[in-house]
């Protein structure tokens, strides 16, 4: 272990001690939502700049949260409520004496208000990318949902919907309904609607009104035109995660009310545990107690904040450490590109630097044209000092001086801090940093940067990056390309299309193509960089054959960059570039391409790369994610590749998947995931994700997957069917993709500790199986799942261990003592392959009582779980628990549920009464006609 490895925990301990000593109010500045004394503080709701100003939007948000606070308080049995909420007003709205933002931004929001750019634009939903009990990323509401009172009938009151979504976001529980499987056959062989609790009542409805359930079921599938409508008046009090719209529903399903048989996502993801079991095991419940008495909590307090002018200060290390490995040149190249192409118009930019002391290089200067950009580039440091010592606090102090000259405060400003030297005194300015109201993005250059540098970005809500010392790595430019204004306006942000770097031999070339798809093309720029000698020979062709060469690029010989800006909208299609090394020595040649949205009403495809946490300790893996979307619709079938670069050693390339297995919890949600565990050394690792999508395959999901509050199509009220208005379609259609698309995004950095020196034994087990399903066919049960690997989700396992039990509690709590199923003939397939295995439960479970006619006295269910074993006998975690009904006779048909027996009886009785009435009427008419004829005949005789 190096000296740094020994020193780091000491520095971190000192740092944490100082953090704990600070006032809690200061910690809320950058720490997100915090729970104190039963109340949530720091909840941030952000309105997208694309949303038009509406005088009713803010009052409706306040009303929603206020109602949600009291509803949540009662649902959590007097334990939790919302205390302090901030609403971020977009800078596109008129100023109205709003408070100035500090470290709040759209990208940090817990709740976002924006349009979908797609059909069914009113659906609220929560983006969940991790497993049961894990926090999600954000809650999404549309203006239509918040303003259109006509939707309340279908969703329930907005406060109730918010609590439903908050449970997704905060506690990692899942929906208890299933639109794809609205009915199922329960253990008593009855057809039931998928619901929780099962005490919620309703009836089947066909196109023309109520109908027996058998008219709606065809081969266990729901017939089109049929639905199950719930009674508007109920006695059931659960569950909020099923149907929060019912007035009687005031709590979550618990162990006594939970419907374990329902085929919903909650049962699948949480191994049949109730939502209340998951919620009550959360950190929020472990760190709080129910409030005594009968008083309600105070209503929430709201703060309205709005961003002012965009202010950025570059704080750059100029110590002698910057002279190593060409760091200064690579920094100059990246910052020049940032200033010339990426910084948004009208942004105020300043520059500070530091070694052992801080210095101001450029006061704030507003970017209004290219001349302003060039002026700022001229202030970049051209040389480094002879001092190796660095004082990051001194550099930040000068940075604060720069930004405070605009309005007297640093509120809402952004510091981009670049450091390569060690500094053991960062804690000295912690209080100043936290109280500044500034967000700090940190960029660590090389292996000697201060170990606790990232704490500054963590505590202020900033991004953190690491740039390794590799001449052919484009990480520095990728990092600056990732840093945006944070407003959430995707139509004003630059999107990176290409990042390529190679060491090119003399008289060899770097050649590649980059796709400019039709959703981008404005403000497109190509950047070529090199490390030594003069520029390479550059040849660039657009999709129509127009040629650009070196003379068309703006050359900066001092910084060794060549930049080409395409006026107007770049032609969509494949652009081909060639970089020829015409020199007699090896050249590190790199190409970067960025662009902006081509139209203001068609969102471009985007990728957001991120990791599970700030750090991990060997042998625990790091989970890597890439959220690929167009607007808010998931992009499917993309090729997503992650590149992870350690401090020393070669980069690792890893393909990410959206298959609902391994690290990826939900299939086809647009979040591509993978486990990373190739830990070569201790220290920092950088992440970059590259997305390619072919035009020949389906691109978009037709709906937003994941966790939604359910929209109820109608109710049964006083025996009458009352249908709600159907959700309107926004009319957005996916355009035909002729070229596919390409995207690049830096995912920041993470740290790894505890990696042993030299070779180490196998310590990586197979990953947990999360998609186990069981289907009963005749007398057998067929299991299906996605194969894990020898090491997590790579390679293939050695064997499987399948166990069954008639007790859910037994298999949950004591898997090792459940009944073992013989799997000797089951040979594991490579990771990612779909596995199936069929067995007869009768061979393993005996003792059921039988009636004389051979039918079982009662139905039974078995619970099944599986784990994988590798060649060194390392075992995965136990899978999700699947279930199946047993011992149902072949001759038995599904027994009518009580609701339908009553309904059929009523309809039969009404039919019989109608027939009787008809017989009476007909008889009466016949008798009258006979009497009439008798009178006529009598007259004739007389």
The set of catalytic residues is 165
Name the phi and psi angles at 420, rounded to 5.
-120, -15
891: helix, coil or strand? coil
N-terminal to C-terminal alpha carbon distance within the chain:
133
Q: Name the DSSP class of 462.
A: -
928 Cβ contact list (under 8 Å, min separation 6): none
What's the farthest any 2 CA atoms get from each other in the chain?
A: 145
CA gyration radius, the chain: 33
Token digits for 236?
């059931």
Work out whether strand 509-516 and strand 573-580 pair parallel, antiparallel, or are unpaired.
Answer: antiparallel
889: helix, coil or strand? coil
Provide the β-strand partners of residue 229. Answer: 203
645: helix, coil or strand? strand
Taking CB atoms within 8 Å and a gap of at least 24, the contacts of 7-16 are 7/424, 7/451, 8/451, 8/452, 8/753, 11/424, 11/451, 11/452, 12/451, 12/452, 12/455, 14/427, 15/426, 15/427, 15/430, 15/452, 15/455
The full DSSP string for 819-870 is EEE--TT-PPPPTT-EEEEEE-GGGT-----B-TTS-BSS-EEEEEEEEEE-
In 462-508, DSSP assigns E strands to 464-467, 495-504
Between 475-482 and 327-337, two packed helices, what is the crossing angle to 10 degrees? 30
Quote the CA–CA distance of 302 and 41 in Å, as a whole number.
Answer: 11
692: helix, coil or strand? strand
Residue with tokens 């009553």: 902
Are residues 322 and 331 in contact, defined by beta-carbon separation less than 8 angstroms?
A: yes
Are residues 327 and 420 in contact, defined by beta-carbon separation less than 8 angstroms?
A: yes
Are residues 98 and 304 in contact, defined by beta-carbon separation less than 8 angstroms?
A: yes
Q: Residue 263: name the closest of 172, 164, 155, 185 by CA.
A: 185
Q: Name the DSSP class of 571.
A: P
Quote the CA–CA distance of 142 and 118 in Å, as a whole number.
Answer: 11
């Amino acid at each position: 272990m190096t000296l740094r490895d020994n020193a780091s925990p000491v520095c971190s301990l000192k740092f944490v001690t100082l953090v704990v000593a600070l006032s809690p109010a200061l910690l809320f500045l950058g720490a997100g939502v915090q729970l104190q004394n039963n109340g949530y503080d720091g909840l941030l709701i952000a309105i997208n700049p694309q949303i038009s100003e509406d005088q009713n939007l803010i009052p409706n948000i306040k009303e929603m949260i206020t109602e949600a606070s009291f509803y949540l308080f009662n649902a959590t049995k007097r334990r939790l409520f919302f205390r302090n909420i901030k609403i971020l007003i977009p800078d596109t709205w008129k100023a109205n004496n709003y408070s100035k933002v500090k470290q709040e931004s759209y990208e940090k929001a817990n709740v976002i208000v924006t349009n979908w750019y797609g059909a069914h634009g009113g659906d609220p939903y929560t983006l969940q990318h991790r497993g049961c009990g894990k926090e999600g990323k954000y809650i999404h509401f549309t203006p239509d949902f918040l303003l259109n009172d006509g939707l309340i009938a279908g969703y329930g009151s907005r406060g109730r919907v918010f609590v439903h979504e908050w449970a997704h976001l905060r506690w990692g529980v899942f929906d208890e309904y299933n639109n794809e499987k609205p009915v199922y056959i329960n253990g008593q062989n009855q057809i039931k609607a998928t619901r929780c609790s099962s005490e919620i009542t309703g009836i089947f409805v066909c196109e023309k009104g109520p109908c027996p359930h058998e008219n709606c079921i065809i081969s266990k599938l729901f017939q089109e035109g049929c639905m199950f409508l719930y009674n508007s008046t109920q006695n059931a009090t659960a569950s909020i995660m099923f149907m929060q719209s019912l007035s009687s529903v005031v709590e979550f399903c618990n162990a006594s009310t939970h419907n374990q048989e329902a085929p919903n996502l909650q049962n699948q993801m949480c191994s049949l545990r109730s939502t209340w079991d998951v919620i009550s095991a959360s950190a929020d419940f472990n760190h709080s107690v129910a409030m005594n008495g009968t008083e309600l909590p105070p209503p929430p307090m709201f703060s309205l904040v709005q961003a002012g002018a965009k202010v950025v200060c570059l704080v750059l290390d100029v110590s002698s450490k910057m002279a190593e490995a060409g760091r200064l040149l690579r920094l100059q190249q990246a910052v020049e590109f940032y200033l010339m192409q990426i910084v948004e118009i009208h942004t105020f930019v300043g520059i500070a630097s530091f070694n052992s002391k801080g210095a101001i290089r450029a006061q704030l200067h507003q970017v209004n044209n290219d001349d302003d950009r060039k002026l700022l580039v001229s202030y970049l440091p051209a040389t480094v000092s002879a001092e190796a010592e660095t004082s990051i606090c001194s550099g930040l102090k000068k940075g604060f001086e720069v930004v405070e000259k605009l309005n007297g405060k640093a509120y809402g400003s952004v510091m981009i801090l670049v450091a390569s030297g060690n500094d053991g005194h960062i804690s000295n300015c912690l209080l100043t940093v936290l109280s500044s109201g500034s967000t700090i993005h940190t960029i660590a250059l090389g292996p000697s940067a201060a170990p606790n540098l990232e704490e500054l970005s963590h505590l202020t809500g900033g991004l953190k990056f690491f740039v390794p010392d590799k001449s052919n790595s484009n990480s520095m430019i990728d990092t600056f390309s990732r840093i945006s204004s944070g407003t959430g306006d995707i139509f004003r942000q630059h999107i990176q299309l290409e990042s390529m770097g190679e060491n090119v031999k003399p008289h060899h070339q770097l050649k590649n193509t980059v796709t400019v798809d039709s959703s981008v093309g404005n403000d497109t720029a190509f950047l070529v960089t090199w490390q030594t000698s003069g520029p390479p020979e550059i040849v660039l062709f657009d999709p129509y054959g127009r040629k650009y060469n070196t003379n068309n690029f703006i050359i900066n010989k001092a910084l060794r960059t060549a930049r080409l800006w395409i006026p107007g909208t770049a032609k969509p299609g494949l652009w081909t570039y060639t970089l020829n090394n015409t020199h007699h020595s090896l050249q590190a040649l790199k190409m970067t391409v960025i662009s902006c949205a081509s139209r203001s009403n068609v969102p471009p495809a985007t990728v957001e790369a991120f990791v599970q946490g700030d750090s991990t300790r060997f042998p625990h893996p790091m989970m890597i994610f890439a959220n690929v979307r167009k607007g808010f619709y998931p992009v499917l079938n993309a090729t997503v590749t992650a590149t992870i670069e350690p401090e020393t050693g070669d980069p690792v390339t890893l393909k990410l998947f959206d298959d609902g297995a391994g690290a990826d919890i939900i299939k086809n949600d647009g979040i591509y995931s993978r486990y990373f565990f190739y830990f070569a050394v201790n220290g920092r690792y950088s992440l970059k994700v590259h997305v390619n999508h072919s035009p020949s395959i389906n691109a978009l999901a037709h709906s937003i997957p994941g966790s939604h509050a359910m929209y109820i199509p109608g109710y049964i009220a006083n025996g009458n069917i009352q249908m709600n208005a159907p959700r309107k379609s926004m009319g957005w259609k996916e355009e035909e993709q002729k070229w596919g698309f390409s995207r690049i995004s830096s995912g920041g950095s993470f740290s790894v500790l505890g990696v042993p020196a030299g070779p180490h034994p196998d310590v990586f087990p197979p990953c947990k199986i999360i998609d186990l399903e069981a289907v009963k066919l005749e007398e057998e049960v067929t299991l299906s799942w996605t194969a894990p690997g020898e090491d997590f989700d790579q390679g293939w396992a050695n064997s499987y261990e399948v166990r069954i039990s008639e007790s859910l509690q037994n298999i949950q709590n004591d898997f090792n003592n459940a009944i073992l199923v013989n799997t000797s003939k089951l040979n594991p397939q490579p990771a990612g392959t779909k596995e199936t295995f069929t067995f007869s439960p009768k061979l393993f479970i005996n003792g059921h009582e039988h009636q004389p006619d051979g039918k079982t006295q009662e139905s039974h269910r078995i619970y099944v779980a599986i784990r994988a074993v590798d060649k060194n006998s390392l075992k995965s975690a136990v899978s999700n628990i699947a279930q199946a009904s047993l011992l149902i006779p072949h001759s038995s048909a599904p027994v009518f549920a009580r609701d339908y027996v009553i309904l059929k009886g009523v309809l039969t009785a009404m039919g019989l009464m109608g027939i009787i009435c008809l017989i009476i009427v007909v008889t009466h008419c016949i008798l009258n006609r006979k009497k009439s004829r008798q009178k006529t005949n009598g007259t004739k005789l007389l």
